[in-house]
Structure 1
Amino acid sequence: MPRFSVVVPVFKVQGYLRECLDSVLSQSFTDLEVIAVDDRSPDGSGRILDEYAARDPRVRVLHLPENGGLGRARNAGVERAEGDYLLFLDSDDSYLPGALAAMDRQLTACGEPDLLVFDHQRSYWWGKTVPSMFGEQLASTGTRTSSVTGNPELLGLFHVAWNKAYRRAFYQREGLAFEPGLYEDAPLGNEAMICAETIGCLSRICVDYRQRYQGAITCSPGRKHFDIFPQYSSLFGFLARRPELEPHRPMLFERMMSHYLFCLRRADRVRPADRRAYFRQAALHYRTHVPQDFRPPRHAARDFRLLARRSYALFAARERVRRAGGAVRRAKGRLRSRLGRTYHRFYYAFQRRLPLRPDLAVYSAYWDRGVACSPAAIDAKARELAPHVRPVWIVRGSAAGELPPGTDYVVPHSRRYWRTLARATYFVNNVNFPDHVVKRPGQRHVMTHHGTPLKSMGLDQQPYPAAARMSFGQLLRRAERWDFSVTSNPHSSEVWDRAFPCTYEDVPSGYPRNDRFATATHDEIAAIRASLGILPGRIALLYAPTMRDYRKDYVPWLDLERLSAGLGDEYVLLMRTHYYYGRDQALRELHERGLIQDVSRYPSTEDLCLAADALITDYSSLMFDYANLDRPLVVHAPDWETYRDTRSVYFDLLSGRPGETPGPVTRNEDELTAVFRTGTWKGPEARALRAAFRERFCVHDDGLAAERVVRRVLLGEDPSALPPVVPLAERRTAPAPQAGDGAPQPLG
């Protein structure tokens, strides 16, 4: 008997079905069966199901003789289920990696409850992904279970079928089944919730709920939406047959009427021509099912009273007023915004007529995310060598609370922001300043960049579809503001010269952010490792994959739980996602379980590099920085061909040629695990590859980069007078982390 029976009803989803099935069958938890119900689908869905069943014995396919709708298809699947728990997954949705394993763990921790409710996210067709609003509520229960009687707020959770695991014995005992028609989730979901004696919660996002461009019946207006009324009639019929559940009537009634009002106001559900009839039907249900002494919720009291009085005319009038008021508020907001932009434009223009301040420097990093990267290193060195120059950072409001003590900053679009842009002499950034920044004569812009380029940049991106969604004319106009371009090796200088063919001066100083790799002390590194909780003797591996232009959201390319188990307790895995991506709940869960350390929001990448005994990456420019430490590098490249073909690269990272490949290359988890278990990661071949890579890409990074930039830009020294580059063989490199007996041990 399998742990899970996943029932997948299928109708006209051939474009999404493989992704759905793959999301189930590729789960790390494998004790499952998939019952796929072909609801007489007219497209190729049935053929796809048979194909999957032929190659995976866990898939059972049921072809229905006629189309019966989602509810009947699910019921047919349940009849053939044999698992301990039932799961329902719509065939255009999918499970996130690790979802079933997380459900299994939580079910066990909760003592095998009747019901487990888990979280979901919405993925929109244009690429946006939004977590649900229920995460905190689900997380608040921990591993405790309760019933709706003990915790009525549980009824406020999203009432759909696919966000729950139902104990099959409970499901059968209560006689649960889906009704035909649209909105079939509403009665069954609520019936299950009020009948369950033990309900557990899982805050892990398990389901990716796809919001399709078209084809979703709930977003297609028409009379089909009147199906909601018999669905809720069946719920209250169920309640009438179970008098012991009568105390739940007020809450269920409130949810029913709120659902009616929600649909009534949605133009993509109830058509204007049908609204009066829909309102009358809702009013009839109000009178039929209203509990004795019912008190409407405060936020919807007027709407409930109008339903009670059957007053559609007043309801429609209120809707017209509400919509008009919303239009007026939006118009006022647009007017205020336009007036504000006009005021700031004139204020900025006025300030640009005033003299520049030779003692003022503006810093920014990563689109105003905070004090970081090479601009931060330049600022620190300028305070030492050019204390007469006052630094001001541009920082978005959400990051202001995380700034180092004493940081002077301005928030974008504030009055002081415009004044600072107009009067400052020096501008330092690792990305371009916004297009609204007007460069005045006498202002000097420093582009530090934020990495050595492996992927194509600037004009080199034009032929490649994943990266060419930009105006290259605007890009060059931004680059035309640069006076100085900071580079760390000849490769970068050559690329920037072709990719951004403007009149800036190349400053071959090294990247200032990498100075710490030459200056950090043994005690500093030990303190960083201690702050990260890395125990003495453990080998810390920093896994830092880059973003994908061809994917909108973070996609895990490794099964981190499996990798952690394969490496064993000798290693600790530090996981850092690209800053483009938001927080990932699966990583947080692995972190909480002690299998990895999610350091995605750790403020300093340089600290993480210093703390790590080795770096695992794919195509991230971090590899060029980390090479300065002369510690082992492993390239894990599962999608190299796709990345290369969609973005283009400047050299073949996987070639194995000296100067191109920095260390061992792996393509799957087994190969990656083997590299570390066999010691290949720090063997003689790895050392030879790393040495050649360092000779090519660590040319100028000797610990003096920030000083060279400050002397050249802020102090105006001649390039020939700058500190000469220390040869690679003579440089000091930060000591390797502690290992074993506590003494610094070189691992490469």
Structure 2
Amino acid sequence: MTLLSVVMPVHKVQGYLRQCLDSVLDQSFTDFEIVAVDDASPDHSGAILDEYAARDPRVKVVRPPANVGVGEARNLGLDHATGEFVWFVDADDWLTPGSLRAVAERLAGTGADVLVVGWDRSYWTGEVTPGTAAKLLAEAPESFRLDEWPRIVDVLHVCWNKIVRRELLLRMGYRFESGWYEDLGFTYGVFAAADKISTLARDCVKYRQRRSGAATRTVGDKHFEIFGHWDRTYEIVAEHTPHADALRPHLFRRMVWHHLTVLRHGERVPPKSRKRFFTSMTEQYRRHVPPGGYPVPGGAQGVRHRLVGRGAYRTFQAFNTFVKTAKWGKRQLRGGKRLAKRGALNARALLLRGYYRWQLTRPIDQNLALYSAYWFRGVTCNPGAIYARAKELAPGVRGVWVVNRARAAAMPKGVPYVVAGTPAYFRALARARYLINNVNWPNDAVKRPGTTHVMTHHGTPLKKMGLHQADHPAGATDKGFEAQMRRADRWDFSVTSNAHTTIAWDGAYPCRYETLEVGYPRNDRLALAGPEEGAAVRERLGIAPGETVVLYAPTHREWLPPGTPLMDVEDFAAKLGPGHVLLVRAHYFHVPPGGGGEFPRAGNVIDVSAYPVVEDLYLAADSLVTDYSSLMFDYGVLDRPIVIFAPDWDAYRALRGVYFDLTAEPPGIVATTYADLVDAYTSGAYAGDTAAKARAHFRSRFCYLDDGGAAERVVRRVMLGLTEGDRA
């Protein structure tokens, strides 16, 4: 018999599911199975489960015919489990390395029916704090019954910190109930029924504190379900232990603590329902208070317990206000004179800020769309494609671009624009109905009600982004994750190029936006272009007909000084031989603003770093050499050879963090040394059958939505308010 069944309900966790599954499957201990219940998840979670099940027989996927909720999903997983023990793991958390082996050894050493393990709280900001029961777990006897050591009731009442003998659950006939707070009956039920309980004072679970999407951060009246679950918990405990009366004081104290925690949490009970919730607390208090009393805690918490028992809601409110005010006063004293330390803003900045604030009070221009790309560099990328399509499909919407002063002279004729930092810019920023950008707007930009912010992004991600960078600080140039999330909170729509990107952004930017998984608008041109477009670009660059063009475009490395050469381009061009032209394009971080129409050529090397439209270069090139740049995903639309030059892959993966192993799933040949790169071209392998097979797999995963209609799909949804199937 398998020792352990990991039962995992799965619903809308696409941004976290891979990490959870990997944390189990990568353990050194292997005597386990994963029973994953795809609870009719509307995102890509089900596809991820199928992917893992196809490559690892330890993963079993169970699917109910419709969404049943987390409680019933656990029941279904339990019905399909075959292990001696069951561990209900939430799919947005993950296990620490070595935890399965430690659990197995502790179970074998104690003969426990229930094992309670430690955990860490992992916050979206990157902060990690020890679980609240670390000290308690360390102090517990090696094994005990609930009546022998009732302090165990103070451990967090969730199912994911407990490993339970399956036979015990079957003997109890235990079934999770529906709704929120379903863990209560499970926790105290198995404690009451177990002959032996043991603890493992080791951090086995990383308990993710989600920024959004968790029940604990959802405001609503569903939190009233706590009262029914506590009533049921008392019944379950009484059913499974003869010591229920002796345990009542400990259980009661925990119940009141739980009620207070829910009520005082600012993101749970709605303000209009707080008095009614408090009344229900008092009713349940009086219904279950032990005849002989219970150990009332000291301090402010003890005062709250007594006020609940008395039903004194107004006094309860006043007391909490007093405590908050006292804490606020202490913080102010510690804070000092922060504003004075910042220094005064210069007069012009103050005037512009005041002007912007005034413009925010004026009516929104319902027909104005403000566009920007790459920190005000001009008309390009996804915003550029949306702008062009919107002129055709939504001609009543006037498009205006934001450009920095150095780029203004290079703006195409006839394209309206404002210069960043001017009054015209602040007026447009304050009053535009639509704000469309491939990067975030500045921190001080205000998201007005009634406006629509569209984040188009500017690449399919290989490297970790957003909150995922927290584990790879060498690659995080902006470590202010809270500020990053505040900027992302302004998004109404997030445009993604494929399922991979949708899943990545879901975890990297856990905010409340609608995902438009429609392909990348900037790739529409690549999908629809004919050979004449590439020929025109070649002529513009002075490339003779018949010459073979190779585009070399490396990505940025945060840990290297700007300008650090990554390859001897002159030598590589020479190795390519006569009849070849090498186009070299530096990352835009290393290109000075202003652009230009000159593209210097030395022999058969042309520097196209300042070329304004990268899609032109794709169309001109017969093949691409890159390393870890998102260019590979766009160039893949053309179905032309790609070579990955990855001499520092291990360093890049460790320092920058990646979403998948590029060397295992490349878009073509992978060269890890310069000699390999040269050989890929001189031997012709770069365009051979092996390369073509890898490219086909890559395109099927990342380029399948790039059919030429992405920009139209964005315009139809955002500006015309149409959904799939609607007619314009």
Structure 1 length-normalised TM = 0.50
User: What CA distance in whole angstroms lies between the structure 2 residues aligned with 1:566 and 1:394?
Assistant: 43
Number of the residue aligned with 1:632: 641
1:721 is paired with a residue of what secondary structure? Answer: coil
Contact 2:378–2:407 at 8 Å: present in 1 too?
Answer: yes
Contact 2:555–2:627 at 8 Å: present in 1 too?
Answer: yes
Counterparts of 1:339-378 in structure 2 under 5 Å? 339-378=347-386
User: What CA distance in whole angstroms lies between the structure 2 residues aligned with 1:498 and 1:722?
Assistant: 33
User: What CA distance in whole angstroms lies between the structure 2 residues aligned with 1:416 and 1:562?
Assistant: 49
Which letter does structure 1 place at the counterpart of 2:536? A
1:506 is paired with a residue of what secondary structure? Answer: strand
Select 1:674's aligned residue among 672, 676, 679.
679
Contact 1:455–1:647 at 8 Å: present in 2 too?
Answer: yes
Counterparts of 1:48-447 in structure 2 under 5 Å? 338-447=346-455
Number of the residue aligned with 2:498: 489
Identify if the C-alpha distance between structure 1 residues 685 and 473 changes in structure 2 by more than 3 Å, giving closer, same or farther. Answer: same
1:582 deviation in Å? 3.5
1:654-673 alpha-carbon deviations (Å, 9 max, x no partner): 12xxxx21111112222111
Contact 2:601–2:607 at 8 Å: present in 1 too?
Answer: no
1:416 deviation in Å? 1.1
Contact 2:386–2:715 at 8 Å: present in 1 too?
Answer: yes
Select 2:486's aligned residue among 477, 491, 497.
477
Number of the residue aligned with 2:459: 451
User: What CA distance in whole angstroms lies between the structure 1 residues aligned with 2:578 and 2:399?
Assistant: 45
2:414 is paired with a residue of what secondary structure? Answer: coil
Number of the residue aligned with 2:604: 595
User: What CA distance in whole angstroms lies between the structure 1 residues aligned with 2:580 and 2:377?
Assistant: 32
Which letter does structure 2 place at the counterpart of 1:675? A
1:554 deviation in Å? 2.3
Which letter does structure 1 place at the counterpart of 2:367? D
Identify if the C-alpha distance between structure 1 residues 433 and 548 changes in structure 2 by more than 3 Å, giving closer, same or farther. Answer: same
Number of the residue aligned with 1:694: 699
Q: Percent identity?
A: 52
Identify if the C-alpha distance between structure 1 residues 720 and 471 changes in structure 2 by more than 3 Å, giving closer, same or farther. Answer: farther
2:447 is paired with a residue of what secondary structure? Answer: coil
1:346 deviation in Å? 1.7
1:404 is paired with a residue of what secondary structure? Answer: coil
Which letter does structure 2 place at the counterpart of 1:514? N
User: What CA distance in whole angstroms lies between the structure 1 residues aligned with 2:592 and 2:405?
Assistant: 19
Contact 1:559–1:669 at 8 Å: present in 2 too?
Answer: no
The gaps in structure 1 that reach 5 residues or longer are: 1-333, 724-748
1:466 is paired with a residue of what secondary structure? Answer: helix
Task: Tell me if 1:717 matches 2:726.
Answer: no
Number of the residue aligned with 1:39: none
1:554-594 alpha-carbon deviations (Å, 9 max, x no partner): 2211111211111101211100000001469xxx9995432
Which letter does structure 1 place at the counterpart of 2:523? N
Stretch of structure 1 that moved more, 516-525 or 498-507: 516-525
1:232-286 alpha-carbon deviations (Å, 9 max, x no partner): xxxxxxxxxxxxxxxxxxxxxxxxxxxxxxxxxxxxxxxxxxxxxxxxxxxxxxx
Which letter does structure 1 place at the counterpart of 2:715? V
Contact 2:368–2:399 at 8 Å: present in 1 too?
Answer: yes
Paired residues, what number?
383
Number of the residue aligned with 1:704: 709
User: What CA distance in whole angstroms lies between the structure 2 residues aligned with 1:349 and 1:649?
Assistant: 41
Number of the residue aligned with 1:157: none
Contact 1:375–1:430 at 8 Å: present in 2 too?
Answer: yes
User: What CA distance in whole angstroms lies between the structure 2 residues aligned with 1:615 and 1:502?
Assistant: 35
User: What CA distance in whole angstroms lies between the structure 1 residues aligned with 2:592 and 2:358?
Assistant: 42
Contact 1:430–1:448 at 8 Å: present in 2 too?
Answer: yes
2:574 is paired with a residue of what secondary structure? Answer: helix
Which letter does structure 1 place at the counterpart of 2:483? Q
1:631 is paired with a residue of what secondary structure? Answer: coil
User: What CA distance in whole angstroms lies between the structure 2 residues aligned with 1:416 and 1:538?
Assistant: 47
Identify if the C-alpha distance between structure 1 residues 367 and 472 changes in structure 2 by more than 3 Å, giving closer, same or farther. Answer: same
User: What CA distance in whole angstroms lies between the structure 2 residues aligned with 1:592 and 1:412?
Assistant: 33
Which letter does structure 2 place at the counterpart of 1:413? G
User: What CA distance in whole angstroms lies between the structure 2 residues aligned with 1:605 and 1:722?
Assistant: 33
Number of the residue aligned with 1:128: none
1:518 is paired with a residue of what secondary structure? Answer: helix
User: What CA distance in whole angstroms lies between the structure 2 residues aligned with 1:518 and 1:365?
Assistant: 21
User: What CA distance in whole angstroms lies between the structure 2 residues aligned with 1:590 and 1:712?
Assistant: 39
Which letter does structure 2 place at the counterpart of 1:648? G
2:485 is paired with a residue of what secondary structure? Answer: helix
1:719 deviation in Å? 3.7
Counterparts of 1:486-565 in structure 2 under 5 Å? 486-565=495-574
Which letter does structure 2 place at the counterpart of 1:361? A
Number of the residue aligned with 1:72: none
Identify if the C-alpha distance between structure 1 residues 700 and 636 changes in structure 2 by more than 3 Å, giving closer, same or farther. Answer: same
User: What CA distance in whole angstroms lies between the structure 1 residues aligned with 2:526 and 2:453?
Assistant: 26
User: What CA distance in whole angstroms lies between the structure 2 residues aligned with 1:717 and 1:494?
Assistant: 24
Contact 2:668–2:686 at 8 Å: present in 1 too?
Answer: yes
1:522 deviation in Å? 2.1
Contact 2:541–2:599 at 8 Å: present in 1 too?
Answer: no
Contact 2:668–2:692 at 8 Å: present in 1 too?
Answer: yes
2:699 is paired with a residue of what secondary structure? Answer: helix
Counterparts of 1:638-653 in structure 2 under 5 Å? 638-653=647-662
Contact 2:667–2:694 at 8 Å: present in 1 too?
Answer: yes
1:423 deviation in Å? 0.9
Contact 2:669–2:691 at 8 Å: present in 1 too?
Answer: yes
Contact 2:647–2:674 at 8 Å: present in 1 too?
Answer: no
User: What CA distance in whole angstroms lies between the structure 2 residues aligned with 1:661 and 1:522?
Assistant: 26
Contact 1:374–1:450 at 8 Å: present in 2 too?
Answer: yes
Which letter does structure 2 place at the counterpart of 1:387? P
Select 1:685's aligned residue among 667, 690, 705.
690
User: What CA distance in whole angstroms lies between the structure 2 residues aligned with 1:515 and 1:669?
Assistant: 34
Identify if the C-alpha distance between structure 1 residues 722 and 630 changes in structure 2 by more than 3 Å, giving closer, same or farther. Answer: farther
Which letter does structure 2 place at the counterpart of 1:351? Q
1:336 deviation in Å? 9.9
1:666-701 alpha-carbon deviations (Å, 9 max, x no partner): 122221111111110111111100000000001211
Identify if the C-alpha distance between structure 1 residues 681 and 506 changes in structure 2 by more than 3 Å, giving closer, same or farther. Answer: same
Number of the residue aligned with 2:666: 661
User: What CA distance in whole angstroms lies between the structure 1 residues aligned with 2:600 and 2:654?
Assistant: 34
Identify if the C-alpha distance between structure 1 residues 688 and 444 changes in structure 2 by more than 3 Å, giving closer, same or farther. Answer: same
The gaps in structure 2 that reach 5 residues or longer are: 1-341
1:623-677 alpha-carbon deviations (Å, 9 max, x no partner): 000000000010001111111111110111112xxxx211111122221111111
2:445 is paired with a residue of what secondary structure? Answer: coil
1:462 is paired with a residue of what secondary structure? Answer: helix
Contact 2:599–2:610 at 8 Å: present in 1 too?
Answer: no
Select 1:462's aligned residue among 470, 491, 496.
470
Contact 1:708–1:722 at 8 Å: present in 2 too?
Answer: no
Contact 2:489–2:512 at 8 Å: present in 1 too?
Answer: yes
User: What CA distance in whole angstroms lies between the structure 1 residues aligned with 2:646 and 2:675?
Assistant: 13
Contact 2:591–2:609 at 8 Å: present in 1 too?
Answer: no
